[in-house]
Amino acid sequence: MSRSDDTHAPRLSDRGALIVSTGAFTGRAARKKFIARNSATERRIAWGAVNQPVPDAEARRIWDALEAKFRAATGSGPRAGVHPYRGFVGPYALSFKTCSAWHAAFARNMFRATPAPLGPRLLERTRRVSLQILHDPDTRLSELGVSFPTEAAIILDPARCRIAIVGTGYAGEIKKAAFSLCNILLPDLGILPMHAAANCFADGRGTSVLFGLSGTGKTTLSADPDRYLIGDDELAWSPTGISNLEGGCYAKLIDLDPEKEPLIYRAVNRPGAILENVGFEPGTGRVDFSDRSRTENTRGSYPLSSLEKTFDPDREADEPSTIVFLTADAFGALPAVARLDEFQAQYHFISGYTAKVAGTELGVSRPEATFSACFGAPFMPLHVTVYARLLASLARRSGASVWLLNTGWLGEDAGHGPRIPIPVSRGLLAAIQSGALDSVPMRIHPIFGFEIPLECPGVPAEFLRIPEGQAVAELARRFAANIDRISTEVPGGVPRDILEKGGPLPARRAA
């Protein structure tokens, strides 16, 4: 019988993957992330519970204390106490230093060996910028001589392009902090950073972008044996195409099935992969992917080269022909699939409705309805309209169709019974990407107003029914209330045409 190991010592699985424990933190510590507040960030950042401010002087004190510790560790003798890595986050050069050897291996898996291909003019502008990350997972801030409200913290300093991570061993903090910094810098270049996955054909055509929060299926659905993966989490959409900001994948592993997800299964069961907080048999190293005794949020990192079909990371793929918003509806109120017009696309992008999946954040033990702007609010620090305007402009030029794909629940047992089967979601996505859904009969949803296909090749009719009842009306009210809240927080509010033409019909009438 398998069990989770209680020690922190890394060890090898029976397939040669590295098994590690992240300690007390098995998910993102959202309340411990801060952004330095100074003249460069004061008016740009959407301050609040997601983007908590820390005084500039305090951010510098934490960085200086951490830097002094790293200097002392490398000042004499072997560099055994510090593990450096140099690479790229998107187009930006990265210097990463950590006290943990396996976290350095994680960085090698996840970041790029070369700058993202954004075109000569854009790359010339990004060459002047380099990012620095100092990472000390086992030290508390008080041990650095710093007085702070928390002992663990993730501090972003966009003005100096620096990130300090102290007191948490959850590796996801490293990639998400670097991604968040890119999300502040890239819009100034006319580039849309996206919390999304994307794949395409071998020649870079037929690009499809899948937005979605953790647990909605980005990694699973983007790993398609008939297409080439561009990336599964952090992408850039420039005026000339799509590229990957990172060099690896960070997949959820709970209940990983070799038959349903064969590409991911093979990628995490080989040397070079890092498995976080998984259960295993101590004697054999055999991993039990159903073991959730430590956390629901078991994770695996691996380089893109571990997958069989990946798009050349040094080329931009074509701009997308299809855009898909993934959502795990927890109430059975949304259909399995729907087509959105231009205004509905912006409305749903700003809304970012899904359900938080157990384990992706500390304190979340069951699915909870949430609205996360841009399908990734914790990683998108600027005001949501900055990203929404970029999406609308780029999508209008590329002519991409936009779809909503529900990978959550249908019917009265929503949130409790089984989710929509992965093969059904794959079938719907394949029909979107191939254009098969463009010519089928559609019905206008009576409340949300988007178009719902009445048939889909290879998908049983039971998954194409339109949910009705109180749950639908209640979700529409939640959408309207969320947009009202955003309108009060964003300078100038949400554009009126999006409010009037993009939201649920009751909200449109109110507008």
Averaged pLDDT for residues 386-393: 93
Q: What is the 3-state secondary structure (H, E, C) of 81-121?
A: CCEEEEEEECCEEEEEEECCHHHHHHHHHHCECCCCCCCHH
Which one is catalytic: 26, 180, 207, 219? 219
**Class assignment of domain 322-510?**
alpha beta
Calculate the alpha carbon distances from 79 to 63, 83, 139, 174 in Å: 20, 7, 18, 21
DSSP state, residue 28: B
Averaged pLDDT for residues 401-411: 92
Token pair of 323, please? 């855009």
pLDDT-based confidence at 366, cuts 50/70/90?
low
CA–CA gap between residue 508 and residue 511 (Å, rounded): 5
265 pLDDT more than 60: yes
The percentage of residues in the chain with a pLDDT greater than 90, rounded to a whole number, is 77
368 pLDDT more than 80: no
For position 253, what pLDDT does the model report? 95
195: annotated active-site residue: yes
Averaged pLDDT for residues 117-144: 92
28: annotated active-site residue: yes
The percentage of residues in the chain with a pLDDT greater than 70, rounded to a whole number, is 92
Distance of CA 270 to the CA centre of its chain: 24
176: annotated active-site residue: yes
Q: Which residues contact 362 (CB under 8 A, 6 or more apart)?
A: 25, 26, 27, 28, 29, 30
pLDDT-based confidence at 365, cuts 50/70/90?
low
The residues facing 154 across adjacent strands are 33, 165
Amino acid 297 reads N
Averaged pLDDT for residues 356-378: 70
User: For all residues of the chain together, what is the average pLDDT?
Assistant: 91
- pTM: predicted TM-score of the whole model, two decimal places: 0.89
Which one is catalytic: 60, 103, 176, 348? 176
pLDDT-based confidence at 510, cuts 50/70/90?
very low
Encode pLDDT of 482-509 as tens digits: 999 999 988 888 999 899 899 997 544 4
CA–CA gap between residue 336 and residue 405 (Å, rounded): 6
Which one is catalytic: 207, 214, 243, 425? 214
Instruction: Say if CB 19 and CB 11 are below 8 A apart.
Output: yes
Averaged pLDDT for residues 263-284: 96
Q: Which residues contact 468 (CB under 8 A, 6 or more apart)?
A: none
Total Cβ atoms within 10 A of residue 117: 21
Token pair of 386, please? 């900055």
For position 416, what pLDDT does the model report? 66
Domain layout of the chain by residue ranges: 322-510
Instruction: Say if CB 327 and CB 316 are below 8 A apart.
Output: no
Which one is catalytic: 97, 195, 227, 294? 195
Total Cβ atoms within 10 A of residue 418: 8
Which one is catalytic: 294, 299, 356, 419? 299
Which one is catalytic: 28, 60, 356, 419? 28
pLDDT-based confidence at 4, cuts 50/70/90?
very low
Encode pLDDT of 176-235 as tens digits: 999 999 999 999 999 999 999 999 999 999 999 999 887 788 888 988 889 999 998 999
Residue matched to tokens 């396996």: 102
For position 2, what pLDDT does the model report? 46
Which one is catalytic: 56, 136, 232, 233? 233
214: annotated active-site residue: yes
Q: Which residues contact 193 (CB under 8 A, 6 or more apart)?
A: 90, 179, 182, 183, 186, 187, 234, 235, 236, 245, 380, 387
For position 213, what pLDDT does the model report? 80
Averaged pLDDT for residues 244-271: 94
1 pLDDT more than 90: no
pLDDT-based confidence at 380, cuts 50/70/90?
very high
Averaged pLDDT for residues 289-306: 95
Encode pLDDT of 93-104 as tens digits: 999 999 999 999
175: annotated active-site residue: no
477 pLDDT more than 50: yes
Averaged pLDDT for residues 166-181: 97
CA–CA gap between residue 236 and residue 316 (Å, rounded): 10
Averaged pLDDT for residues 348-367: 69
Angle between helices 342-351 and 470-489 (to 10 degrees): 80
Chain length of the chain? 511
For position 5, what pLDDT does the model report? 45
Which one is catalytic: 218, 292, 383, 478? 218
